[in-house]
Amino acid sequence: MEEIQATKPLHVTSATFDSEVLKSTIPVLVDFWAEWCMPCLMVAPIVEDIAQDYAGRVKVCKLNVDDSQSLASRYGIRSIPSLLIFKGGSVVNQVIGAVPKSELVKRLEQVLRT
């Protein structure tokens, strides 16, 4: 799947989480969100920007916490948006709440450098 350089965030669910996120060969940014969450809607355009800017280097996914409650609780999500960065199947960085694009970029660059 990874030859396709997605420029739009990919929606993942419990069924696709393992293959798309945990087994990804490049780092993955997962945006845990819900339709009723206003700051989630506020960071959505930033997450879309990141998907474009980092196409091919970072995979950007969105996970609806209402549809995938078990995954949300597996990662202890109790505040959204929560933006988790995965590398090699585990969480290497985490941002809770809506943050500016520059903050996300900083975290992603850190992850890409290591």
Partner 1 sequence: MRFDVLVIGAGPAGLTAGLYVSRAGWRAACLERLAPGGQAALTSRVDNYPGFDEPVSGFELCRRMEAQAKRFGVEVVQGEAQGLAVAAGSVVVRSAEATLRADAVVVASGARPRELGVPGETELRGKGVSYCATCDGPFFRNQAVAVVGGGDSAVEEAMFLARLCSRVYLVHRRDEFRAVKTVVERALNDTKIVPVQSAVVTRIAGTDGVEAVEVRNVSTGATDRLEVAGVFVYVGLLPNSEFLAGQVARDGAGYVITDEDMLTSAPGVFAAGDVRKKSLRQISTAVGDGAIAAMSAVRHLQGLRAQSR
Under the criterion CB under 8 A, does residue 80 sit at the interface with partner 1?
yes
Q: Minimal distance in Å, beta carbon 3 to partner 1? A: 30
36 binds partner 1 (CB under 8 A): yes
Q: Which of 6, 37, 99, 105 is catalytic?
A: 37
Angle between helix axes 101-113 and 38-53 (nearest 10 degrees) is 50
What is the amino acid identity at position 75?
Y
Q: Under the criterion CB under 8 A, does residue 92 sit at the interface with partner 1?
A: no
- The DSSP letter of residue 16 is H
Stretch of 4-12, 14-22, 52-60, 70-78 lying at the interface with partner 1 (CB under 8 A):
70-78
E-only strand ranges, the chain: 10-12, 28-33, 59-64, 82-87, 90-96
**Best CA proximity match to 29, nearest among 96, 79, 91, 106:** 91
| CB 19 to partner 1: min, Å | 27
Minimum distance of partner 1 from residue 37's CB (angstroms): 5
- Indicate the residue among 39 and 87 with the shorter CB distance to partner 1: 39
